Structure 1
């Protein structure tokens, strides 16, 4: 089936949800059925004295269109699945029982045409996800012993070197060994401008090489690559069931028996089997079944186009309830691009010596603090082999051993935790650095503090605007949590526009989670925004956990519910707006589907709607729901006063929400 709309024990028949794209075989089948039906109707109109040809032509058309519906229904029943095609199948069989062969053929033909229309509407909803889900190559050209050979990706591992020709899709994550080229990374980030790549630069599976040949040293392949993790997330998003689906599940238990009973009552009261047939046709709840998944799919696709990866529909629906947004500081509100501004050595050490010791401990870490120290250290990149043991203290720092020496790099809290006294001169340096907005990091060897390293970060350029937009969207509370020094935290918060009483500094990852829990206990619905590195507990605990992701950092894909793959905050307000619109669209779809179905059922019961008219009405209702959901992709990201780009551009007028 094209659109996955299974519920517990209730699934769509091929006639309702489509059985695939309209390929040549399908076109011939439906076209032939239409020709036979047209001939039958002509024969019925012009040659009433020749009923046999009419029956033969009608049954021929019905075999091509109605038979697949009936077969799908039987298969579902054999698998103990309730199938909405049951009602359509019963209506076709009843028409045959009455000898209304042309009516049965009309029902099958209209349902088949509806299948084509639904498939087209559904494919429009999926196109953004299909763009990000384009298949990576199954093979790559590997350079071995001076020769280039074609090899399956399963035969390629880290350290191999692959050739990526102009126009090729990059098959692996790796670093450029030789060559220069522009690489299109839009499938990963939503950013359409190609990025220039040269020796030493990272490239990623799923991106497209433009104009130069590259030799790439392999780091990750397949599901372990950034692209593989993204695709796993997209697949999960399509499979997860949003909170609004239980309504349909409960309805599935009683719906078909109730509709059969209603058709029986109409038959007994009127003696008109055609009314009952019409009722069964319009009672097929395809529009209701598609109300939620079609909107979720369209919204996920719209987000994917902008580099916003959403793990499931429940997080879209939660957006309408969010009243509190909590930010991590480093790498979230700030760029996380720390750089060393000052080094104060103690105990006869030199600046270079303090950096070298710190680099030994930090060599195995991917934290922004580690990257800054390693970049500033003498002989960067040469210290990994010096440490024999490493132990990360999330939110505090790192502890390592080099030979017999124990090295601790981190906060004053980590020194206290590891039993290392903080001398008065180090306290004075800490206070001086913090007062100027610089984060102090202590370096200790064994029981002695040998230096303090000052690190400074910069606010993301979009942070102030994002926070202003969140307030305009009605977010009541905006707070910042950080493990950093309180003075530094307050400086960053003041620059970003976060009130001083909403700043909480010196927190461990577990304490961030506790803060989120406290908010939720108080009745708040919380969106936590972090960088995906040390914020795992808080991201998981929040009603919506949003990570600032990147091509380099795939941790965010594993720890959060939503990932902003462009590496910035700019799309956060748009995501929350998208979620609210998706929730409104789902509600509008469900209300319309229920109202439309009951109206058509009433018209059928009164004899106003014929079986053929009922089939047309059924498909029309379904298509309206699909079209309303598909429109989400066109109005998901809009221009706001003072906001960023927007889909429609300046002066445009986005469509109104809902039906």
Structure 2
């Protein structure tokens, strides 16, 4: 019976409201006091039933809840035959609860949108080469799947056949379609807007990027910040205190109505709900904008960060080396490029790939007698010529003369932060190439945005040489730059900053960054980084979109402000109501309940503003 009544709470609210309207109609229009009184009595009984059941359930677990305060207040008003007050209070309490649930569901809409995006089925290739529809849970790694136009990609995988444009908003927060072709990586939950793809399932179920997003966001919702834990403890003692105060008021004043009114006005509803709704809305906004915030505690800590430490490669830079400078000492550069490309295409070194990308189409020749010099480079024969490709040490080892012009260029290239690749043909230096990782587009603007948001120190820690790190720091306007740092050196430096009283966030993407991500006050992982980095971090920037970082910091600051605003609103309203009941003539139980429920809605709507938060002046 109790469950049935609680399940019909919304219907009871409607019936109670209609009875109250009929009661006032009978009183003021029909002048029938008997009909009016009984309408209000029935409305009171109907309205208090679900509230009393919830109060009883709370008492069974030894909790004095808001429902208990309201139930006692309504029963007291009923006993002193103030049926108008008892009916209105129950209706307002129930109607307020209805509006709270409705608006709270909206704050969770971002999370619901994520779960609704989860694919439910897939077209899997069977033994005869045809494709059959199966539940997505039945898909195994290695299965070949077909994705048609308009369908959701069911797993994380690699494109084997076909080409198309995919909307990856569910992963990156960016709705601009991304072109996918053979060997491209695709993610579960994204939508193929046009084309047809056959993909190999690489990660399935909860192991997909999308599955991890949902899991992380759901965990974040369930976590509680320090402010929420304080409010939980506060409410545990505050609610019984209100009950005791109301009894004391009755004992001293012998005014039952005054005591009942104190019960109603002292309810801490807005205080209890204000902080959680801010957190849920903030986490929801982040999820829709490519930022995963792993819990309420993360929001609190991130909002106070004053120092941000960056790894260089793959974070401030793209992580894809490119030819930046070149010095030519040859009379036949085209031929030398052909020899160089012929040797480098047999190598898997990242610098070799950068060189091949730079040279482009050329004439390749057979390569013979290849010798790899560890830590130096490659020596080979091409078309009868002895080709030496490598660093300065290899050139000196092979007795290749570096004239003054070459020495000057080498110093200049090193000063500019380049990795050097020298090419000699038959004992003569022909080409000097400077290769360096390129800074991410827009990073400088994003770092300036971080400064505007209150970050005082921007530090880069890298295992690269100091010259390269200094160049990046100078170009981006960083506070400090430290090179030649091993993973343990980075962790030690972060610990040093923390001992100095700085609140440190670390941004990285690799396995070697995991200790620093775990040690820092806030660990921020680039979404395309390793699983270890993502698991040990507090914040994930999906798709490695650096521009999400200022949005994330701005969002946490806005969320922290929103929490404080809601606490101030909740406490302020209670104090004003209690002051009014003792020092004014206009305050009564009905008005108090109306204001009380109104304050709950105010803090909810204030929290919901975070769902639309965008950092002004920065691309999101």
Q: TM-score scaled by structure 2?
A: 0.80
Partner of residue 292 from structure 1, selected from 272, 275, 279: 275
- Structure 1 position 169, deviation (Å): 2.2
SS in 2 for 1:284: coil
Residue 543 of structure 1 pairs with residue 521 of structure 2: yes
Task: Return the offset for 1:619.
Answer: 0.7
Answer yes or no: is the 8 Å Cα contact 1:162–1:215 preserved in 2: yes
- Aligned counterpart, 1:611: 589
1:519 shift after superposition: 0.3
Equivalent of 2:571, from 565, 582, 594? Answer: 594
Cα deviation 1:270-322 (Å, max 9, x = unaligned)? 32222222221221111111221111222222222321211122222224432
Q: Matched residues in 1 for 2:261 and 2:344: separation? A: 84
Match for residue 507 of structure 1 among 458, 480, 485: 485
Indicate if the aligned counterparts of 2:235 and 2:268 stay in contact, CA closer than 8 A. no
Alignment of 1:565 with 2:547, yes or no, is no
2-structure distance, mates of 1:67, 1:584: 38
2:172 corresponds to 1:189: yes
1:408 and 1:236, CA in 2 relative to 1: closer, same or farther beyond 3 A? farther
- Give the match for residue 74 of structure 1: 56
In structure 2, how many angstroms separate the alpha carbons of the residues matched to 1:305 and 1:139?
A: 23
SS in 2 for 1:498: coil
1:474 paired with 2:454, answer yes
Q: What does residue range 119-268 of structure 1 map to in structure 2 within 5 Å?
A: 119-144=101-126, 145-268=128-251
Whether contact under 8 Å (1:320, 1:580) holds in the other structure is yes
Question: Are the structure 2 counterparts of residues 599 and 70 from structure 1 closer, same or farther at C-alpha, using a change threshold of 3 Å?
Answer: same
Secondary structure of the equivalent of 1:238? Answer: helix
Query: How far apart, CA to CA, are the structure 2 residues paired with 1:75 and 1:150?
Result: 47
Could you tell me how far apart the structure 1 residues matched to 2:65 and 2:356 are?
Answer: 61
The answer as to whether partners of 1:358 and 1:373 remain within 8 angstroms in 2 is no
Q: Secondary structure at the match of 2:611?
A: helix
Q: 2:85 aligns with which of 103, 107, 113?
A: 103
CA-CA distance at 1:434 after TM superposition: 4.3
1:26, 1:161 → 2: CA distance?
Answer: 50
- Please state whether the residue corresponding to 1:338 is helix, strand or coil: strand
Aligned CA-pair RMSD: 3.7
Q: 1:228: how far off?
A: 0.7
Q: In 2, Cα distance between the equivalents of 1:519 and 1:634?
A: 35
**Distance in structure 1 (CA, Å) of the matches to 2:191 and 2:173:** 13
* Residues 540, 177 of structure 1: alpha-carbon distance in 2 compared, 3 angstrom cutoff: same
Alignment of 1:426-437 (within 5 A): 434-435=414-415, 437=417
CA contact (8 A) 1:299 1:636 kept: no
Q: Deviations over 1:58-99 (max 9, x none)?
A: 454345543222212222232344433221222223223334
Provide the rounded CA distance (Å) in 2 between the counterparts of 1:617 and 1:115.
14
Stretch of structure 1 that moved more, 323-332 or 95-104: 95-104
* Structure 1 contact 132–188 (Cα < 8 Å) conserved: no
- Please state whether the residue corresponding to 1:179 is helix, strand or coil: strand
Note the 1:56-75 alignment, pairs <5 A: 57-58=39-40, 60-62=42-44, 64-75=46-57
Shift of 1:49: 5.6
Alpha carbons of structure 1 residues 426 and 311: separation in structure 2 relative to 1, 3 Å = farther
- 1:243-281 CA distances to partner (integer Å, 9 max, x unpaired)? 222331331232122101111122223322222222212
- Classify the secondary structure of the residue corresponding to 1:214: strand
Question: What's the CA shift string for 1:1-35, capped at 9, x where partnerless?
Answer: xxxxxxxxxxxxx9xxxx99xxxx76544322222
- Contact 1:185/1:195 (<8 A) preserved: yes
* Contact 1:230/1:557 (8 A) holds in 2: no
- Give 1:407 deviation, angstroms: 12
CA distance in structure 2 between the partners assigned to 1:226 and 1:373 by the alignment: 33
After TM superposition, give the deviation of residue 223 of structure 1 in Å. 0.7
Aligned partners of 1:374 and 1:226: how far apart in 2?
A: 32
Q: Which residue of 1 aligns with 2:100?
A: 118
**Aligned with residue 94 of structure 1, among 51, 71, 76:** 76
Range 106-115 or range 129-138, more displaced: 129-138
1:33-65 CA distance string (max 9 Å, x none): 2222222343455465636x843x445434554
Check 1:636–1:371 CA distance in 2 against 1; reply closer, same or farther (3 A cut). Answer: same
Residues 80 and 369 (structure 1), Cα distance of their counterparts in 2 relative to 1, 3 Å cut: farther
Alpha carbons 1:229, 1:554 under 8 Å: kept: no
| Matches of 2:241 and 2:571, distance apart in 1 | 15
1:357 positional shift: 7.4
The CA deviation string for residues 590-617 of structure 1, in whole angstroms up to 9 with x for no partner, is 1221121121123234563222212101
Q: Which 10-residue stretch deviates more, 464-473 or 323-332?
A: 464-473
Secondary structure of 2:195's match? coil
* Residue 280 (1) aligns with residue 257 (2): no
Q: 1:310 to 1:576 in 2, by over 3 A?
A: same
The separation in 1 between residues aligned to 2:268 and 2:396, in whole angstroms, is 70
Q: Does 1:306 align with 2:289?
A: yes
CA distance 1:71–1:602, change in 2 (3 Å): same
Contact kept? 1:226, 1:554, Cα under 8 Å: no
Does the residue aligned with 1:175 lie in a helix, a strand or coil?
strand
| Counterpart Cα distance in 1 of 2:356 and 2:287 | 34
CA distance in 1, matches of 2:10, 2:351: 61
**Rg (Cα) greater in structure:** 2
Measured against aligned partners, the alpha-carbon deviations of 1:504-561 in whole angstroms (never above 9, x if no partner) come to 11111121111111001011111211124421111121122222213x8555431211
Q: 2:560 matched to which residue of 1?
A: 583
Residue aligning to 1:50: 34
Once the 2 structures are TM-superposed, how far is the Cα of residue 225 of structure 1 from its aligned partner? 0.1
Q: How does 1:12-23 map to 2 (within 5 A)?
A: none
Q: Structure 1 pair 210/351, CA: closer, same or farther in 2 (3 Å)?
A: closer
More helix by share: 2
Once residues 74 and 356 of structure 1 are traced to their aligned partners in structure 2, the CA distance between those partners, rounded to angstroms, is 78
SS at match of 1:309: strand
Work out whether residues 532 and 560 of structure 1, in 8 Å CA contact, stay in contact via their aligned partners in 2: no
Residue from 630, 634, 642 that aligns with 2:608: 630
The match for 2:512 is 534
Q: Structure 1 511/351 Cα, relative in aligned 2: closer, same or farther at 3 Å? A: farther
Q: Distance in 1 between matches of 2:614 and 2:16?
A: 40
